[in-house]
């Protein structure tokens, strides 16, 4: 490495960078066989106009004090000094805690923040809130909310069946047929929280293909598997995968190809599911054709193929981010069980393989550095995606995992490292929800849509502006993430800001434990150094590690994981389910009597489906050109937009019927809101489906076609959460169901307004 070149890491890859005083140049780590183009977004973080340059307060809050206020998201801001804002914030935290109790502080703070183990914003905030009295927390994720609840009942703990089940090496070596529900898009596996030094997925899939493996893509969107695999594409009607899975099981059983030995020795509740499959109406291929849009003959052919050779079923996270999303997760498990392949090398079921870069990789043999947590003295919590419900309906009852609970009355919400006005559904409703707060505090480097709704905006440094350690247990490289560029304006590290606040609240020493940031890095690194020394391996001191810039950890041999051990000896290695076996039906779940979550995998018609007024399914999936909303203004993200607007895919037949041409600005709308986007006409998508990725910063204006929606009826930038629905996946798991909703689309009749999402508010 030449002088001035430093190593750094992002959720989308490890990189080398050089700062020449005015420009940051970035190139991928030389060891990465397939780097992500998302790296090209990084340089724009330096000095961009959308950076928060100094602490800012919403004028209504600063002048009139805390309280319910529909001005959130509408008022102007003014700049104040760090001391003034932290004094005021300490006072307000004390007021809320002493008047309303500690559970009135919401510290869910969901979000991806940046790579780097110490300056992980959410961990810092949780530690601060825990040590200063506690907070209402959130459980589960937007990523896998339904799966995280259902998988432990039917198969095993989330990590065991996502990260540490079937590996990419096994796929390359052993799989004959991969049936990928929702695909395994390379755009998705490019991302892993904490960083990824080697993108192996393309190579593994290609190796399998070259060996003769067949890939079957079940998805409304063709690019969900790499083109080079020459996959069989089954463009399924969104939200109907479980019907296809049931029909495959039915066909396999009827053909006498079910593994009855495995069902008897390793599964429980098969009788319950079998009865459902064969009772009228029989869940056969003809039945599923009407629901899924996939011809019965194709389903029968696929069933035949799956029953021969080594077959792997994968289910992308997207399938469960929809109404009744629990069902395809359970259905995929059951399908692999009927084939009798769970626990075989390269076969069976791997939930989420390909959805994230953490999955399907060997585990490190030595622990990576981690930041210490502090216990939260408050027990109150919500399933993460119920945040708007909580704010709008304090004290009301909701159900979760079969138990009734009530929403706490939250007065103060605090966010660091997440962007709810990116991740939440039905953003106009979220805006009404945050209007209910007394105080909304946001730490972020950027003037995101969330920052623009905060009462207090605290400017954070980006990862490029501080030293940190990048690492995760599924990647061998520990990265010395060295500061690359000077701090922006008055931005400060979240740690330093929270340490100052903790001191004002009388908990400074507990928060810092007397360490500077640098001392924390040394402290955190120590367990990794010890882990290496214990195995008699080269265990460099912190200084040596920092000097080298990276450290490669040994990895554990592939022992087949939890599912492999269970398969080999189910009595000695039972699964953590009620029966210790794969749970294909469940008496206790059936006994809950939930119509939206019966005691076996089932097809349940969604309550929102396309109709005459809203004839399209909108798929709002993860963006290929960025991570969520992060660096939306970066070169790779901006370069893929059209006239600064996000791009929506539409099938040529639909476009022709509606008079929409390639590149036209279209309005996507329903009774919750509307957004504009630029049309890309392509036969890569199933007719009747639109695809608009998430992540274009919400840019609300009045909608001339819906004046009753007020000043935020139309997002002019193309954020799908302007129209998505804010509803739990089911009353059992309460996951986020944002991936799918019903919409109409039309060519935009007016002059399209300019996008101003990346222009910061004017300061007074």
Ligand X SMILES: Nc1nc2c(c(=O)[nH]1)N[C@H]1C(S)=C(S)[C@@H](COP(=O)(O)OP(=O)(O)OC[C@H]3O[C@@H](n4cnc5c(=O)[nH]c(N)nc54)[C@H](O)[C@@H]3O)O[C@H]1N2
| Residues tagged active-site | 110, 112
By C-beta, is 191 or 329 nearer to ligand X?
A: 191
CA distances for 30 relative to 27, 189, 199, 468, 582, angstroms:
8, 19, 12, 21, 43
182 near ligand X, rule: CB under 6 A: yes
In the complex, minimum distance from the CB of residue 618 to ligand X, in angstroms, rounded to a whole number: 9
Rounded distance, CA 526 to CA 528, Å? 5
Half-sphere exposure of 21 (CA within 13 A, CB side): 0
> Could you say whether residue 218 binds ligand X (CB under 6 A)?
yes
Query: Is residue 628 near ligand X by the rule CB under 6 A?
Result: yes
Minimum CB distance to Mo ion smaller for 320 or for 376: 320
From residue 477, how far is each of 186, 300, 474, 492 by CA, in Å? 21, 45, 9, 28
Residues 576, 152 contacting (CB under 8 angstroms): yes
User: What is the DSSP secondary-structure string of 715-739?
Assistant: ESS--GGGT----BS-TTT--B-TT
Interface with Mo ion includes 123 (CB under 5 A)?
A: no
Any residues with CB less than 8 A from the CB of 746 and at least 6 apart, and which?
658, 660, 666, 667, 669
Among 601, 673, 720, 735, binds ligand X (CB under 6 A): 720
714: Cα within 13 Å, side-chain hemisphere = 20
Q: How far apart are CA 354 and CA 168, in angstroms?
A: 9
H/E stretch holding 673 reads: strand 673-681
Interface with ligand X (CB under 6 A), residue from 109, 341, 620, 737: 620
Residue 610 found at the interface with ligand X (CB under 6 A): no
Sole binder of ligand X in the list 239, 570, 598, 634 (CB under 6 A): 239
Can you say how many angstroms the Cα of residue 453 is from the centroid of all Cα atoms in its chain? Answer: 22
251 binds Mo ion (CB under 5 A): no
Alpha-carbon torsion (214, 186, 342, 556), positive or negative: positive
Q: Which does 262 bind (CB under 5 to 8 A by kind): ligand X, Mo ion, none?
A: none
- Give min distance, CB of 621 to ligand X, in A: 3
Ramachandran region, residue 182 (left: φ > 0; alpha: ψ -120 to 50; beta: rest): left
- State the nearest-atom distance from the C-beta of 421 to ligand X, in Å: 9
Of the candidate residues 89, 149, 166, 185, the single one contacting ligand X (CB under 6 A): 185
Closer residue to Mo ion in complex, CB, 7/355: 355
**Nearest residue (CB) to ligand X, 112 versus 270:** 112
Give the CA dihedral 735, 475, 565, 246, nearest 10 degrees. 40
Query: Considering the complex, what minimum distance in angstroms separates the CB of residue 591 from ligand X?
Result: 29
- Name the 3-class secondary structure at 568: helix
Give which of Mo ion, ligand X, none residue 418 binds (C-beta under 5 to 8 Å, depending on kind).
Answer: ligand X
Judged by CB under 5 A, the residue of 143, 364, 425, 724 near Mo ion is 143
Select the binding partner of residue 138 from Mo ion, ligand X, none (C-beta < 5 to 8 A, by kind). none
Q: How far apart are CA 587 and CA 578, in angstroms?
A: 10
Question: With the CA atoms of 76, 77, 78 and 84 taken in that order, what torsion angle do they form, in degrees rounded to the nearest 10?
Answer: 140
Shortest Cβ 422–Mo ion spacing (Å): 11
Give the residue with the Cβ less far from Mo ion, 355 or 439. 355
Max Cα separation, the chain? 75
- Interface with ligand X includes 288 (CB under 6 A)? no
Segment interacting with Mo ion, rule: CB under 5 A, options 140-148, 234-242, 501-509, 602-610: 140-148
Binding ligand X (rule: CB under 6 A), the pick from 629, 637, 670, 737 is 629
The footprint of Mo ion (CB under 5 A) covers 143
The footprint of ligand X (CB under 6 A) covers 111-114, 119, 121, 142-143, 181-183, 185, 187-188, 190-191, 218-221, 224, 236, 238-239, 241, 316-319, 321-322, 355-356, 416-419, 422-423, 425, 443-446, 448, 460, 462-463, 494, 619-624, 627-630, 694, 720-721, 724, 738-740
């Amino acid at each position: 490495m030449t002088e001035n070149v430093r190593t750094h890491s992002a959720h989308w890859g490890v990189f080398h960078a050089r700062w020449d005083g005015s420009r940051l140049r970035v190139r991928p780590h030389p060891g990465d066989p397939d780097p992500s183009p998302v790296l090209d977004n990084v340089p724009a973080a330096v000095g961009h106009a959308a950076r928060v340059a100094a602490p800012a307060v919403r004028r209504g809050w600063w002048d009139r004090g805390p309280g319910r206020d529909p001005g959130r998201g509408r008022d102007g801001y003014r700049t104040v000094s760090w001391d003034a804002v932290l004094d005021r914030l300490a006072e307000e935290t004390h007021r809320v805690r002493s008047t309303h109790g500690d559970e009135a502080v919401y510290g869910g703070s969901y979000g991806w923040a940046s790579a780097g183990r110490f300056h992980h914003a959410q961990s810092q905030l949780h530690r601060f809130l825990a040590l200063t009295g506690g907070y209402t927390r959130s459980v589960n994720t937007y990523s896998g909310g339904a799966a995280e609840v259902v998988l432990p009942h039917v198969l095993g703990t989330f990590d065991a069946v996502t990260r540490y089940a079937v590996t990419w090496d096994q796929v390359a070596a052993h799989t004959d047929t991969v049936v990928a529900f929702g695909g395994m898009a390379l755009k998705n596996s490019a991302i892993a929280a904490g960083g990824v030094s080697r993108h192996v997925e393309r190579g593994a899939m290609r190796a399998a293909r070259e060996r003769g493996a067949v890939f079957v893509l079940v998805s409304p969107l063709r690019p969900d598997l790499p083109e080079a695999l020459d996959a069989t594409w089954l463009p399924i009607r969104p939200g109907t995968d479980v019907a296809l899975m049931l029909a495959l099981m039915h066909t396999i059983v009827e053909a006498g190809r079910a593994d009855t030995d495995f069902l008897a020795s390793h599964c429980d509740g098969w009788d319950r599911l079998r009865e459902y499959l064969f009772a009228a109406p029989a869940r056969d291929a003809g039945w599923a054709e009407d629901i899924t849009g996939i011809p019965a003959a194709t389903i029968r052919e696929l069933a035949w193929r799956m029953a021969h050779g080594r077959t792997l079923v994968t289910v992308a996270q997207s399938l469960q981010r929809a109404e009744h999303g629990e069902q395809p997760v359970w259905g995929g498990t059951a399908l692999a069980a009927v084939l009798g392949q769970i626990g075989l090398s390269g076969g069976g079921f791997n939930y989420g393989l390909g959805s994230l870069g953490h999955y399907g990789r060997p585990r490190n043999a030595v622990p990576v550095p981690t930041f210490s947590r502090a216990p939260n003295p408050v027990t109150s919590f919500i399933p993460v995606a119920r945040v708007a419900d909580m704010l709008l309906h304090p004290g009301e009852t909701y159900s979760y995992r079969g138990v009734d609970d009530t929403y706490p009355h939250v007065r103060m919400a605090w966010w660091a490292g997440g962007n709810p006005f990116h991740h939440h559904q039905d953003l106009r409703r979220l805006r009404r929800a945050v209007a209910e707060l007394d105080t909304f505090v946001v730490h972020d480097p950027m003037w995101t849509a969330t920052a623009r709704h905060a009462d207090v905006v605290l400017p954070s440094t980006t990862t490029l502006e501080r030293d940190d350690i990048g690492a995760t247990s599924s990647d061998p490289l520990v990265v010395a993430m060295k500061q690359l560029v000077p701090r922006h304006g008055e931005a400060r590290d979240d740690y330093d800001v929270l340490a100052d606040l903790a001191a004002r609240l009388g908990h400074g020493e507990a928060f810092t434990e007397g360490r500077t940031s640098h001392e924390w890095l040394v402290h955190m690194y120590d367990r990794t150094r010890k882990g290496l020394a214990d195995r008699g391996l080269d265990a460099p001191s912190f200084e040596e590690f920092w000097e080298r810039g990276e450290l490669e950890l040994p990895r554990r041999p592939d022992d087949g994981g939890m599912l492999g051990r269970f398969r080999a000896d189910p009595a000695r290695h039972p699964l953590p389910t009620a029966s210790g076996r794969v749970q294909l039906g469940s008496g206790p779940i059936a006994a809950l009597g939930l119509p939206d979550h019966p005691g076996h995998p089932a097809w349940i018609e969604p309550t929102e489906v396309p109709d005459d007024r809203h004839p399209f399914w909108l798929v709002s999936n993860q963006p290929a050109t960025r991570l969520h909303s992060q660096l939306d203004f970066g070169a790779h993200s901006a370069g893929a937009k059209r006239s600064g607007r996000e791009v929506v895919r539409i099938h040529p037949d639909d476009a022709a019927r509606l008079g929409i041409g390639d590149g036209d600005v279209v309005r996507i709308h329903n009774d919750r809101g509307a957004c504009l986007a630029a049309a890309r006409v392509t036969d890569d998508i199933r007719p009747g489906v639109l695809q608009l990725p998430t992540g274009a910063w919400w840019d609300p204006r009045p909608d001339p076609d819906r004046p009753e929606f007020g000043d935020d009826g139309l997002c002019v930038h193309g954020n799908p959460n302007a129209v998505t629905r804010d509803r739990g996946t089911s009353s059992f798991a309460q996951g986020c169901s944002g991936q799918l909703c019903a919409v109409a689309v039309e060519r935009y009749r007016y002059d399209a307004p300019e996008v101003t999402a990346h222009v910061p508010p004017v300061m007074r």
